[in-house]
Amino acid sequence: MPFQVGQRWISDSESDQGLGTVTNIEHRFVTIIFTATGESRQYAKANAPLTRVIFNPGDSIPSHEGWTLKVTSMTEDNGIITYHGVKQGSESEETISLKEVMIDHFIKFNKPHDRLLNNQVDRLDWFSLRKSCINHQYQQQQSELMGLTGARVNLIPHQLYIADEVGNRFAPRVLLADEVGLGKTIEAGLIIHQQLVSGRAKRILIIVPDSLMHQWW
């Protein structure tokens, strides 16, 4: 949708700023002022994180003067919308008009229902990416190897076997007695990591001689 001075837009990333008003349009940029907070933002028109605010018949629109309009119809002139309807709370049924530049600046669309009705939604490719990430996280959490997937070590079979064997025990107490250089420290680290990730332990106390402090660190 092309930008026009006087149009009302809302920031997708800063919805707490309230309604913004287009104040300047240049070749590649558009300037929005958020009167509710006194902030001004400049966006690239091609990918501005903005959503046009358009109300529909039946909606109630607050004016910045303090009264509310019940919309019955709307007209557009050079990209600027004028809403027509009845002033709520008035005894008469006289039809009045409200230009979009006169809408209350403090309107916010923080609730999912409001964001959906105002078409303040993300692109489908971003939704698909988030959905794929959530599915991937779910599959990892269901894996029997949970707790072993975060270690930055080579997948050596005997180390993984020991870590899995000990990790499946309740409150494990074991003595690791591999030969020198076969990875007892890594095995212990895998077991500790599994206990932390699975929630079986919250704090770990490691007691080592001075000569091994750097290695364990």
CATH of the domain at 81: 2.30.30.930
Residue 191 CA to residue 137 CA, distance in Å, equals 21
Is the domain of 62 the same as that of 149?
Answer: no
Tell me the two tokens of residue 6: 């006087």
The residues pairing with 101 across neighbouring beta strands, listed in sequence order, are none
Instruction: Give whole-number Cα distances, 153 to 24, 47, 163, 193, in Å.
Output: 56, 42, 13, 12
Is the domain of 86 the same as that of 177?
Answer: no
Q: What angle do CA 74, 78, 80 make, to 5 degrees?
A: 45
Is the domain of 51 the same as that of 103?
Answer: yes
Instruction: Give the residue from 87, 121, 155 where a domain finishes.
Output: 121
With respect to residue 134, please indicate whether it lies within any of the assigned structural domains. no
What is the span of the domain harbouring residue 156? 141-216
Is the domain of 12 the same as that of 111?
Answer: yes
Instruction: Give the residue from 77, 93, 121 where a domain finishes.
Output: 121
Is the domain of 104 the same as that of 14?
Answer: yes
Residue 10 CA to residue 120 CA, distance in Å, equals 9
With respect to residue 179, please indicate whether it lies within any of the assigned structural domains. yes
Is the domain of 57 the same as that of 98?
Answer: yes
With respect to residue 131, please indicate whether it lies within any of the assigned structural domains. no
Residue type, 129: L
Q: Are 53 and 118 in contact (CB under 8 A)?
A: yes
Is the domain of 100 the same as that of 149?
Answer: no
Residue 148 CA to residue 84 CA, distance in Å, equals 64
Is the domain of 166 the same as that of 93?
Answer: no
* Closest among 101, 118, 122 to 32, alpha carbons compared: 101
Is the domain of 104 the same as that of 187?
Answer: no
Residue 91 CA to residue 195 CA, distance in Å, equals 70
With respect to residue 2, please indicate whether it lies within any of the assigned structural domains. no
Is the domain of 100 the same as that of 154?
Answer: no
The model's pTM? 0.52
Confidence (pLDDT) at 119 = 62
Q: Specify the 3-state DSSP secondary structure of 70.
A: strand
SS3 string, 107-173, reads CCCCCHHHHHHCCCCCCHHHHHHHHHHHHHHHHHHCCCCCCCCCCCCCCCHHHHHHHHHHHCCCCCC
Residue with tokens 């988030």: 130
Say what the alpha-carbon torsion angle 109, 110, 114, 117 is, to the nearest 10 degrees. 80
Instruction: Give whole-number Cα distances, 4 to 26, 62, 99, 124, 187, in Å.
Output: 11, 22, 14, 26, 65
What total number of domains does the chain contain? 2
With respect to residue 128, please indicate whether it lies within any of the assigned structural domains. no
Provide the residue-wise pLDDT of the chain in tens; the chain has 217 residues: 689 999 999 888 887 888 899 999 998 899 999 998 899 999 998 888 888 888 888 888 999 888 899 999 999 998 999 999 998 876 666 789 999 999 998 887 656 666 665 666 667 888 899 999 999 988 877 776 665 666 677 778 888 888 888 988 888 899 998 888 888 888 898 888 888 888 888 899 999 999 888 888 8
Is the domain of 117 the same as that of 150?
Answer: no
Q: Are 145 and 139 in contact (CB under 8 A)?
A: no
With respect to residue 135, please indicate whether it lies within any of the assigned structural domains. no
Is the domain of 146 the same as that of 101?
Answer: no
With respect to residue 3, please indicate whether it lies within any of the assigned structural domains. no
With respect to residue 91, please indicate whether it lies within any of the assigned structural domains. yes
Instruction: Give the residue from 121, 151, 177 where a domain finishes.
Output: 121
